[in-house]
Structure 1
């Protein structure tokens, strides 16, 4: 699973829908949690959307 380490860190995980993905965010020392602020659910567009935030 792709992970971008930083503050916060992001990772992309498969969603419940076949072929779709979701982003999770982790603050320093925290737990991974779903980040519902991302609109995309396909892999490449989701990567681009995450890259725009860092």
Structure 2
């Protein structure tokens, strides 16, 4: 197993970290895809949106 740490610093002393386990043969692309999902779900998912201007 490989353990990858996802980290986000929101400000002084406000750090979010999570250890994520992957198989030994995981690719960087797979890690990046999981990281992107992690960011959207835990960090900014509730705070951003998009819309079409009428």
TM bracket, shorter-chain basis: 0.3 to 0.5
TM value normalised by structure 1: 0.35
Answer with 1 or 2: which has the greater Rg: 2
Q: Which has the higher strand share?
A: 2
Q: Which has the higher helix share?
A: 2
TM value normalised by structure 2: 0.35
Higher relative contact order (CA 8 A, sep 6+): 2
